[in-house]
Amino acid sequence: MKKVVIISTGGTIASRFKPETREVSVGNSSEPFQELAALRLPSIPVETFEFSSIGSYMMSLERAFELIRMIGDLLKRKDIMGVVVTHGTDTLEETAYMADLLLDASKPVVFTGAQKAADDFEPDGPRNVLDAIRVAADGSSQGKGVLVVFDHEIHAARDVTKTHTSQLNTFQSAEHGKLGEIDQDAVLFHRAPLIRATFPNGAIEPRVDIVKLAMGSDRRFIDCAIESGARGIVIEAFGRGNVTPDVLNGIEQAIAASVSVVIASRCPRGRVAPVYGISGGVALSRAGAVFAGDLGGIKARILLAILLGAGMSGDALKHAIEMASA
Q: Which residues are annotated as a binding site for substrate?
A: 56, 89-90
Q: Active site includes 89?
A: yes
Q: Which residues are annotated as a binding site?
A: 56, 89-90
How far, in Å, CA of 60 to CA of 53, rounded? 13
Chain Cα centroid distance, residue 111: 10
Q: How far is CA 293 from CA 38, 47, 92, 97, 108, in A?
A: 44, 39, 22, 16, 26
Given 12, 86, 95, 112, which residue is catalytic?
A: 12
Q: Active site includes 165?
A: no
Radius of gyration of the chain (CA): 20
User: What is the DSSP secondary-structure string of 280-304?
Assistant: SHHHHHHHT-EE-TT--HHHHHHHH
How far, in Å, CA of 70 to CA of 48, rounded? 13
The phi and psi torsions of 31 (rounded to 5 degrees) equal -60, -45
How far, in Å, CA of 314 to CA of 260, rounded? 8
Given 9, 86, 89, 244, which residue is catalytic?
A: 89
Residues involved in catalysis? 12, 89
